[in-house]
């Protein structure tokens, strides 16, 4: 509900999503690029059109100026009467706007507007009078035009007249307008394609960002980052290929720099698990993994880890204490029965039988204690075996400490010894619990030759292959971590584990 409220508040504050902003930005950039390209194309085409017009008028002017008929008419008595029809016919035929043949003093012999014949020519002629060619864009009687002026020379090379041919700018523009579809159609297609591509890209981005805006995504990132770093559970996110994409601070603390192989295997399996025990170095972790799916496709996994190392140790100790308490309660009940029997025998006057019964019970109770304490000079381990003996008796199992057991002091950390011996004995007791009598578990602990040897043998069916992997158990629910902890201790000390049917031998080297 809170997530929904935050999302709604973000949406009201965000006007445009990232996808929309990207679409608008792309559209503006594409439109600007197309406009610049179109403008450049138009300028190039305009320049080409003007240059083509200059080339045309120059060719026409030179052709007219070299015509023998023009040379003869200029020298004749009435140049306009001969040249006007000729000039107009050439103008119409070539599509130019004017052809003016004039005297060297600018007096027009021809013009598109007959009333202007005899009037002075407007434009530059100095270079043409000197025998050259004038090319310019200027404003005349017909408006702005591109024109050229060339000399008419006699046979001896003397300039006797001038010829000016021009095309108005309006005519050039009209010709360009006729070419507009050739430029407009590709431009429109380019805009449409760019707009379609931008729309498809923005749609994809909207789907991937769920329509979130920049401010919303920034705040969500800040909140999520704060949550990831403050949560007290380890969090590991992997992509569909099993590569780690995110791990929070607690995850790094629990797993270290390199992922333990059980965690890597769990991530690689991409299986959904709940409260799965996992060993990571000296830690016992409880893992929950969920598969992430989007639009029906698996995109990765999310693994959460909780540190249950201390809890497991406390739970094991609590189970031992509870078992010992139950055993002591049963023993107290049994002792009460036996004491009542002794008292009854005394009341019946059979004191000798009462003493014999009490002495036998005391010897049996003291025998195991003397044997364990005498063989194992390690108080915690001795107490563990005495407690396990009481538990075994409660379950109808005989726990025997091999007479060859010997240990002086604590050559290895007590915690590791208790982990190995306690879990092996517990597993053996579970293995023989459902078997037919006699049910017996034998424990041998020997320290010597630079190592501690622990061997536990039972009358059960024996251990299957892979029993020391994480999760195997003799319990009905099939979930356990005890034997995996034994394997962990052995690996940490560089020891070995041998399984021969119902006998398990663990050898732990003692550091020199």
Q: Are strands 440-448 and 398-401 parallel, antiparallel or unpaired?
A: parallel
Buried b (16+ CB within 10 A) or exposed e, 213-246: beebbebeeeeeeeebeeeeebbbbbeeeeebee
Q: Among 66, 97, 96, 64, which residue's Cα sits nearest to residue 83?
A: 64
For the chain, what are the domain ranges? 42-177, 231-307, 311-509
- With CA atoms as reference, report the closest residue to 61 among 149, 138, 155, 172: 149
- DSSP states of 202-237: HHHHHHHHTT--HHHHHHHHHHHHHHHHH-SSEEEE
DSSP secondary structure of 256-275: -SS--HHHHHHHHHT--EEE
User: Is pTM, for the whole model, over 0.85?
Assistant: no
Q: pLDDT tens digits, the chain, 512 residues: what are they?
A: 344 444 444 444 446 666 667 777 777 777 787 778 777 777 777 776 777 778 888 888 888 888 888 888 888 888 898 899 999 898 888 888 888 899 988 899 999 888 888 889 888 888 888 888 888 887 777 777 788 899 998 888 888 899 999 888 777 676 666 666 766 777 778 777 877 777 777 777 676 666 666 666 677 777 777 777 777 788 888 888 888 888 888 888 888 888 888 888 888 888 888 877 777 776 778 888 888 887 777 788 888 888 876 666 566 566 556 655 655 665 565 666 667 776 777 777 777 777 776 676 665 555 566 666 666 777 777 777 877 877 787 788 888 888 888 887 778 887 788 888 888 888 888 888 878 888 899 999 888 888 889 999 998 887 766 556 554 455 544 455 677 778 878 888 888 888 888 889 999 998 87
Sign of CA dihedral 329, 332, 333, 334: positive
Specify whether the CB–CB gap between 116 and 108 falls below 8 A. yes
CATH 3.30.450.20 fits 42-177, yes or no: yes
Tokens of 485: 């902890």
Q: Give the other-Cβ count within 10 Å of 48's Cβ.
A: 11
Give yes or no on whether 42-177 and 231-307 have one common fold.
Answer: yes
Tell me what pLDDT residue 6 has: 43
Place of tokens 């805009």: 191
> Quick one: DSSP state of residue 108?
B
Please state, in angstroms and rounded to a whole number, the distance separating the CA atoms of residues 262 and 312: 18
CATH number of 231-307: 3.30.450.20
- Residue 332's pLDDT is 62
Say how many C-beta atoms besides its own lie within 10 A of residue 391's C-beta. Answer: 20
Its CATH architecture, for the domain 311-509, is 2-Layer Sandwich (3.30)
């Amino acid at each position: 509900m809170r997530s929904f409220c935050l999302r709604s508040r973000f949406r009201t504050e965000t006007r445009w999503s990232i996808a929309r902003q990207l679409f608008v930005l792309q559209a503006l950039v594409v439109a600007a690029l197309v406009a610049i390209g179109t403008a450049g194309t138009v300028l190039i085409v305009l320049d080409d059109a003007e240059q083509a017009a200059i080339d045309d008028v120059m060719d026409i002017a030179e052709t007219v100026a070299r015509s023998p008929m023009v040379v003869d008419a200029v020298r004749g008595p009435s140049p306009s009467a001969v040249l006007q029809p000729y000039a107009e016919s050439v103008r119409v035929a070539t599509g130019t706007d004017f052809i003016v043949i004039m005297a060297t003093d600018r007096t027009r012999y021809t013009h598109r507007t007959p009333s202007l014949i005899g009037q002075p020519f407007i434009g530059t002629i100095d270079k043409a009078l000197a025998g050259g060619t004038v090319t310019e864009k200027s404003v005349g009687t017909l408006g702005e035009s591109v024109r050229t002026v060339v000399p008419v020379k006699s046979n001896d090379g003397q300039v006797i007249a001038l010829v000016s041919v021009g095309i108005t700018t309006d005519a050039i523009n009209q010709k360009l307008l006729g070419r507009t579809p050739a430029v407009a159609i590709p431009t429109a297609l380019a805009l449409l394609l760019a707009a379609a591509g931008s729309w498809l890209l923005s749609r994809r981005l909207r789907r991937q960002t769920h329509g979130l805006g920049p401010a919303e995504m920034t705040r969500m990132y800040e909140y999520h980052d704060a949550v990831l770093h403050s949560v007290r559970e380890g969090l590991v996110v992997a992509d569909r290929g099993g590569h780690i994409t995110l791990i929070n601070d607690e995850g790094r603390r629990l797993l270290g720099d390199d992922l333990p192989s059980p965690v890597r295997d769990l991530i690689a399996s991409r299986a959904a698990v709940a409260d799965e025990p996992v060993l990571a170095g000296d830690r016992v972790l409880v893992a929950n993994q969920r598969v992430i799916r989007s639009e029906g496709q698996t995109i990765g996994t999310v693994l959460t880890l909780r540190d249950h190392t201390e809890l497991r140790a406390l739970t094991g100790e609590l189970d031992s204490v509870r078992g010992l308490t139950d055993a002591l309660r049963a023993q107290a009940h049994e002792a009460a029965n036996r004491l009542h029997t002794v008292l009854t025998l005394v009341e019946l006057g059979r004191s000798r039988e009462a003493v014999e019964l009490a002495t036998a019970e005391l010897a049996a109770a003291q025998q195991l204690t003397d044997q364990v304490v005498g063989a194992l000079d390690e108080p915690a381990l001795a107490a563990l075996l005495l407690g396990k003996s009481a538990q075994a008796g409660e379950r109808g199992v005989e726990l025997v400490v091999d007479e060859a057991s010997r240990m002086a002091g604590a050559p290895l950390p007590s915690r590791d010894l208790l982990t190995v011996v306690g879990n092996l004995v517990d597993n053996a007791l579970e293995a023989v619990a459902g078997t037919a009598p006699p049910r017996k578990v034998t424990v041998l602990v020997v320290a010597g030759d630079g190592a501690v040897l622990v061997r536990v043998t039972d009358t059960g069916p024996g251990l299957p292959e892979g029993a020391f992997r994480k999760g195997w158990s003799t319990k009905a629910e099939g979930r356990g971590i005890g034997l995996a902890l034994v394997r962990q201790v052995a690996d940490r000390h560089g020891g070995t584990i041998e399984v021969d049917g119902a006998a398990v031998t663990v050898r732990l080297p003692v550091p020199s």
